Amino acid sequence: MRLMRSGKVKDIYELDSGNILFHFSDRISAFDVKMATPIPKKGEVLCKFAEFWFDTLETPHHMLKVVAKDKMEVKKLQMIPLECVVRGYFYGSFTERHKERLGKELTSDFKPVLGSKLPEPIFDPTTKSEEHDRPINRSTVISLGILSDNDYDFLERTSISLYKKMSAVVDRAGFIIADVKFEFGLDEKGNIVLGDSLGPDEYRLWLKAAYQPGKIQESYDKQLLRDWLIKIGFKDKIERLAKEGKKPESPQISSSVVNELSRRYIFAYEQISGRRL
């Protein structure tokens, strides 16, 4: 077994068989900074959530089996260098760039309110980077040779379809998925299949009972951490140092935030999957 990469939240190994082993850690990142404080049970939740979604979505994927509470064996793919983001709600970075980025896709009848549901889910891909993902449009994807016209259309249709399936599943459990990030790759036959993982690091999850357009939503994902980092001024510090090409050291996350993050991750998994952790 050979360590291929230690990422922000998971370690990736190549097995002797040629397959890949994901080790989901308790690490957490926000604003492209790896935090120093682990979140208890997070790795186990990410692994089991990924297993649940791969089993539930009924779409070709690369999962082979879960081999431990926080480890999964998958087929090796040639990953497509795009984050296939689907947005169903007016939230996050989309609020800052919807006019210039996707204005034509929003009807004139739509009046943007923070947290409001979009008329239809929107495909909003980004580049894939360990440092910072950046929005990318269809013409750029095709002109750079990342995808053909047909493959771009396939990923757009498939991503939106998967988002709708996930939305229906979480709706029954009392949640809303505001947006989600999918990753795809080519298998040994050249087929495009769902890859990487799916869990609260890949989507914004809100509790339906607390949902109210026009305000910051109560999140059951790592948004709680982002909000805390904004509150203590860490996001401002990131932006200041970025002008100098630097990154700040991560703060120690407060115990109350750590405990609440762990609780929300576990609660969301158990409610949506119907399984005990």
Kindly tell me if the per-residue pLDDT of 98 is higher than 80. Answer: no
Cβ burial of 142 (10 Å; 0-12, 13-18, 19+) is middle
The CA distance from 34 to 46, in Å, is: 17
Per-residue model confidence (pLDDT) at position 165: 98
What are the tens digits of pLDDT across the range 141-192? Answer: 999 999 999 999 999 999 999 999 999 999 999 999 999 999 999 999 999 9
What are the tens digits of pLDDT across the range 195-233? Answer: 999 999 999 999 999 999 999 899 999 889 999 999 999
What are the tens digits of pLDDT across the range 252-270? Answer: 999 999 999 999 999 999 9
Contacts of 244 (CB under 8 A, 6+ apart): none
The CA distance from 225 to 30, in Å, is: 7
DSSP string, 19-58: -EEEEE-S--EETTEE-SS--TTHHHHHHHHHHHHHHHS-
Per-residue model confidence (pLDDT) at position 102: 47
Q: Please give the domain boundaries of the chain with CATH numbers for all domains.
A: 77-277 (3.30.470.20)
Whole-number average pLDDT of the chain: 92
pTM value? 0.91
Kindly tell me if the per-residue pLDDT of 111 is higher than 80. Answer: no
Kindly tell me if the per-residue pLDDT of 101 is higher than 60. Answer: no
Kindly tell me if the per-residue pLDDT of 132 is higher than 80. Answer: no
